[in-house]
Amino acid sequence: MLSRRRHVYFAMMGICLVLFVLAWGVVRFWSIPAAVGMCVVAMIIPPVAAMVANRRGPDDRWWDDPSGDPQSDEWWDELDGKKPPKT
C-alpha cells in the first residue's frame, strides 16, 4: 500500500511540475490567463498529493495501535503516559 501511495504522490508532483513548465514555457505565448489557470491548478496539487501520501491504509500500523508484542506495547504505553512506570 505504501508503494502505491508513493507512486501516486510522485505522479501528482510530476504533473504539477509539468503544468508549471508548460504554463510559463509554452502556453503563455498564446494565452496568459490560461497559463495563470494552469498555475492555479498546479498550486492545488501539492497539498492534495501530501494528503494522498499520508493517508492511512487498511494494513498500516499507526502510533496508537498495539503491535501484538506485550513487552513492546507495555513499554510504549508507559512512554505515552497511558500506564504508570513499573517500580
**Cell matching residue 37:** 489557470
Q: Give the other-Cβ count within 10 Å of 44's Cβ.
A: 10
13-71: pLDDT as tens digits: 999 999 999 999 999 999 999 999 999 999 999 999 999 888 876 666 666 666 778 88
59 against 74, higher pLDDT: 74
Domain borders along the chain are 2-55, 61-87
**Cell matching residue 51:** 494528503
Query: pTM surpassing 0.75?
Result: no
